[in-house]
Amino acid sequence: MKARLRYFLNALADAFWLVPAAMVAGASVLAVLLVQLDRGGQLPHWLTASDWFYNGGGTGARTLLGAIASSAIGVAGTVFSITIAALSLAAGQMGPRLLRNFTRDRGVQCTLGAFLGTFSYALMVLRTVRTQDEGVFTPHLALTFGIVLAFGCIGTLVYFVAHMASRINVGTVVNLVSEDMRAAVLALVRDEPHPEPPAEAFWAHAAPVCDARRGYLQQLDADALADWAAQHGTALRLLVRQGDYVFPGAPIALLARDVPGAAEAIRGATALEDVRGSAGDAGHAVRQLVEVAVRALSPGVNDPHTALGVLDQLGAALCDLAGRSLPTGVWQREGRVALVVPVLRYASLVDAMFHMVRQNASTSPAVLLRLLQVLTAVLHCEGDAARRAALARHAALVWADAQRSVPNPSDVQDIGRRYQALQRALAQPPGVRPAAARSTAGQEPDR
């Protein structure tokens, strides 16, 4: 139940319509309240006599409100058109999977909500205006606030143009996506090391649990599943992690001791979605950023500087993980293993970050040099031997690709020098830069 609730709340938070709808509803309620104040006739004299207060008649009020309403809805259409154009540009140059980052942008949502709310406010006030033949009533306070909203929409339009101009900049997109990636990666960090999962022999006689659903595993209530397994005296091992696709009829879990109700418990503690999302899925967040780099390296775009910026952000995320524990996916109850969930290991995270970039940059010396530089920087921060070995493996792959694919011998020599500097860093304790690397730092090419 908690998994489905979290899924619903995340979907609601990402919905494009929520903020505009709330602003429209708020503007409508505000119009009703201000009109009631006007009907009460209890406004202070200093306010009604002010030059800033609307003192016109019913005909002028209707004309003014009609102008505000028509202008607001017209500009709202323009705002929507600009948003669609920006989404099309982002999908073509940076990947369609980044569209969600644009549609959940609060700046765009608030801008559209401001114009639609002003339109609704003007209509709600306009229906209360009465001329001489209808029984005179002019909501002066509501009209004055409507004028304020109109001027606020002018400022909102200026903000929106500047905001969209910055949001479609690829550097801004890289920073925004990297923030999402860093938050998703750091969400994996645990203050204390988790227990290691049991050996494969523990599951030798396990019974498979199949699931008839299909879709990507979006939310998982691991605590509820662990409690259920402990109450029934068994252990449960999920075969998919958040972000993985659940195939209909395929096993979704293993049960150490077969007990009834496992399939129902799993369905109640999980939520699937047709489209893969990034909520709780660090691997998907990483792949979003990697996709920007891969598209930048394509012949149609040919923007290696964007790929260099992506590598910097990936390296910074790995430096944030230095010295921190990642989960092992084991949940215990009373000292016994109750649940084992597949998790994103450090080596898999590094593979997701660098494999596709290296493969698409095999003929780009500048990107290969920066990749080695990033790996060297992370080695200086990371002290775990297994993690350093994973980083060294990627460095060896870069060097092998450079020897095979880079045509210019001078470029190969530059990459070789950078690779040798990484090997010296690998031989030194974390945080210590080799003396040889310091003495030749000014001679190393920076591309």
Residues 212 and 121 in one domain: no
Q: Which amino acid is at 234?
A: T
Confidence of residue 393 (pLDDT cuts 50, 70, 90): very high
The whole-model pTM stands at: 0.76
pLDDT averaged over every residue in the chain:
85
Alpha helices, H only, 280-383: 282-296, 304-321, 346-360, 365-381
The answer to whether residue 354 is domain-embedded is: no
Element (H, E) at 238: strand 236-238
How does DSSP assign 112-155, residue by residue?
A: HHHHHHHHHHHHHHHTT-B-GGG--B--HHHHHHHHHHHHHHHH
- For the segment 323-338, the average pLDDT, to the nearest whole number, is 88
Could you report the per-residue pLDDT of 127-148, keeping only the tens digit for each? 998 877 766 888 889 999 999 9
- CATH code for position 225: 3.90.1170.30
For 15, the 3-state DSSP assignment is coil
Could you report the per-residue pLDDT of 171-193, keeping only the tens digit for each? 777 888 888 888 888 888 877 77
- For the segment 82-88, the average pLDDT, to the nearest whole number, is 76
Interhelix angle for 140-167 vs 170-186, to 10°? Answer: 90
Residues 338 and 197 in one domain: yes
The answer to whether residue 68 is domain-embedded is: yes
Residue-number span of the structural domain to which 259 is assigned: 173-345
What confidence score (pLDDT) does residue 2 get?
65
Q: Which amino acid is at 208?
A: P
The answer to whether residue 94 is domain-embedded is: yes
- For the segment 145-152, the average pLDDT, to the nearest whole number, is 94
- For the segment 429-438, the average pLDDT, to the nearest whole number, is 53
Do the bridges between strand 245-246 and strand 215-220 make them parallel or antiparallel, or are there none, so unpaired?
Answer: antiparallel
Count of domains in the chain?
3
CA-CA distance, 369 to 388, in Å (whole number)?
19
> Do the beta carbons of residue 324 and residue 189 sit within 8 Å?
yes
Q: Cβ contacts of residue 300 below 8 Å, gap of 6+? A: none
For 234, the 3-state DSSP assignment is coil
Q: Which amino acid is at 126?
A: L
Closest to 32 (Cα-Cα) out of 123, 106, 99: 123
Q: Last residue of a domain, which of 168, 193, 219?
A: 168
Number of H helices, E strands in the chain: 17, 8
Cβ atoms within 10 Å, residue 161: 13
Could you report the per-residue pLDDT of 219-269, keeping only the tens digit for each? 888 889 999 999 999 999 999 988 889 999 999 999 998 889 999 999 988
The highest-confidence range among 12-21, 105-114, 189-198, by mean pLDDT, is: 105-114
Q: What are phi and psi of 154, to 5 degrees?
A: -65, -45
The answer to whether residue 284 is domain-embedded is: yes
CA 266 to chain centre: 27
Let me know if 446 is exposed, middle or buried by CB neighbors in 10 A (0-12, 13-18, 19+): exposed
Q: Which amino acid is at 399?
A: W
DSSP β-bridge partners for residue 246: 215
Q: Last residue of a domain, which of 116, 142, 168?
A: 168
Element (H, E) at 58: helix 58-94
Residue 424 has pLDDT above 60, yes or no: yes
Residues 60 and 163 in one domain: yes
Neighbour-count burial for 32-43, b at 16+ CB within 10 Å, e otherwise? eebbeebeeeee
Residue 354 has pLDDT above 90, yes or no: yes
Residues 246 and 328 in one domain: yes
> Do the beta carbons of residue 348 and residue 378 sit within 8 Å?
no
Residues 65 and 207 in one domain: no
Residues 432 and 290 in one domain: no
Q: Last residue of a domain, which of 137, 168, 199?
A: 168
Residues 200 and 268 in one domain: yes
Cβ atoms within 10 Å, residue 106: 9
Closest to 214 (Cα-Cα) out of 245, 244, 238, 236: 245
What confidence score (pLDDT) does residue 97 get?
63
What confidence score (pLDDT) does residue 446 get?
46
Residues 297 and 370 in one domain: no
Residue 434 has pLDDT above 60, yes or no: no
Residue 441 has pLDDT above 50, yes or no: no
The answer to whether residue 432 is domain-embedded is: yes
Residue 433 has pLDDT above 70, yes or no: no
Any idea which residue has 């290296």 for tokens?
358
CA-CA distance, 341 to 330, in Å (whole number)?
7
Tokens describing residue 11: 């979907």
The answer to whether residue 108 is domain-embedded is: yes
